[in-house]
Amino acid sequence: MNNLSTSGSEYLGSDREGGNLLWHYLQSLNPEIVAQLSKPSLEVGQVMERNLVSMLGNLPHEHFGVTITTSREQLGRLLASAMMSGYFLHNAEQRMVFEKSWQGSEEANESGG
């Protein structure tokens, strides 16, 4: 049976095989860049907040004292779901920015030559 330290290497690639290019790229980034990439934008944060509110209930907190009781396992699932939603939304936002940039460069090439 594999232990945790060796099971992670199968996902990241091993140095014997040339390693995982993404992993090497991430290691080469400046910590400030990593911190910037890790912060969700205001739009992503708002969508995540709406998603969590819809899962937990939509009573206004200024008028109701809402208490939610759950098990540790269910809370873990909620956290995992919120994290996956955040990753998805962040990637979708990056793709949107890339596509807008790409369309802008195509329009510039068509008009300017």
Q: pLDDT value at position 1?
A: 43
The predicted pLDDT at position 73 comes to 92
Please provide the average confidence, as pLDDT, over all residues in the chain: 76
Q: What is the CA radius of gyration of the chain?
A: 21
> Minimal CA–CA distance to 39: which of 97, 86, 78, 100?
86
* pLDDT band at residue 84 under the 50/70/90 scheme: confident
Q: Tell me the pTM.
A: 0.51
Tens digit of each residue's pLDDT (9 = 90 or more) over 17-57: 556 887 788 788 888 887 777 777 888 888 888 888 887 77
Determine the 3-state secondary structure of 85 from DSSP.
Answer: helix
In this structure, are residues 48 and 85 in contact, taking their beta carbons and an 8 Å threshold?
A: yes
